[in-house]
Amino acid sequence: MDIDRLKTTLQNAGFSQYQSDAYLALVKQGASSATDVAEATSIPKSRIYDVLRDLEDEGYVETFEQNSLHARPSDPEEFLSELRTKAQDFDEAADEIDALWERPSFGDHQITLVKRHETVLEAAEEAVRDAEDEVQLSATPSQFNDLRPVLLEAFDRGVMIKISLHETDGSSALDLDDEEFMNVASEVRYRNLPAPFLALIDRTETYFSSHTPGNRFGLLVDNYTLTYVFYWYFQISLWEIWDVVYSDYDSPIPKQYVDVRRCVRELDSLLSDGVEITATVIGLDRESNEWREISGRIAGTDYEGTTPENGSPALSEVAGKATLYIDTGDQIVSVGSWGAIQEDVEGRRIHLHNIDR
């Protein structure tokens, strides 16, 4: 650091211009008379005595009489410690300001572009803390471990959690066992190809971070329709075709669904065989946009694809439309999936009470 920059740094630390000149002169040449210090600097002789005594009051120098006023620098250990502490404070303040800049609140914004993956991960963590119904997550095992504590809390609240795991290098090995997922995830699948980080929360929030080198960015989305687009990316690219490595379902037919499409796919063949199934559906009434609860017998299903001769409908067959019909005893209520347009209710949770085979 050159002398001019050093003087500027001392002034930023609280020295006046004259004080920084005098102090550096004494550190450089040792004990000196006031006159010598003035001559070695740009300090007027009429001011040098006040400057030295001010430095003494601050503990930076000691003055003494030797025919005339002299001064010598005090042991700088304490002062250097203060400088280093201030430097650390400035460095931490810069990091915090940078983090705040990269961590904008949604406010009225429906989509926010950020540069740091950490910002996306932190925002996703906060969203999982507040999740009420559903979390869909694409993550590496390391990212999963970072989020595991909040996923554990969400699962304990009854949130349905689907996790698509992948390695950044496309590794084919998964270094996690079932115990890692117990009481944390409803179902886990493994994709042996690299993928972006993606978290979908309660159908309205998306947290996305790209994985392509040289084109890294993140998106924070607070919008139902935009999140619906990411939902289909998750279903098609990150979920449907990959192997299940963990499931907490007791049987092939889970007792609870948050996805009407999956419910239709897994119950359709049973209903076709005459199996009676009763359920309670919680969802949003499309006309009033208020929560509604419907209980009764599942009277049937409807979807745009061709009814398969054997097995369950493929995802493509329920992609355009997937409807459950609930017979409450008084009326038949149609329940649609995410993005329902024609149905009475957009189903958020389906609780199966009985499957009478």
Give the start-to-end residue ranges of the domains of the chain.
Answer: 3-77, 111-247, 256-356
Structure confidence by residue, pLDDT tens digits, 118-175: 889 999 999 999 999 999 999 999 999 999 999 999 999 999 999 999 987 655 566 7
Rounded Cα–Cα distance for residues 298 and 270 (Å): 11
Architecture of the domain whose range is 3-77: Orthogonal Bundle (1.10)
Question: How far is residue 314 CA from its own chain's centroid?
Answer: 32
111-247: which CATH topology?
A: Endonuclease; Chain A (3.30.870)
The amino acid that residue 131 corresponds to is A
Question: How far is residue 245 CA from its own chain's centroid?
Answer: 25
256-356: which CATH topology?
A: SH3 type barrels. (2.30.30)
- Output the pLDDT for position 92: 75
Parts of the chain with a pLDDT under 50: none
> 256-356: same fold as 111-247?
no
- Output the pLDDT for position 156: 94
Q: Which long-range contacts (CB under 8 A, 24 or more apart) does 57-62 make?
A: 60/19, 60/23, 61/22, 61/23, 61/26
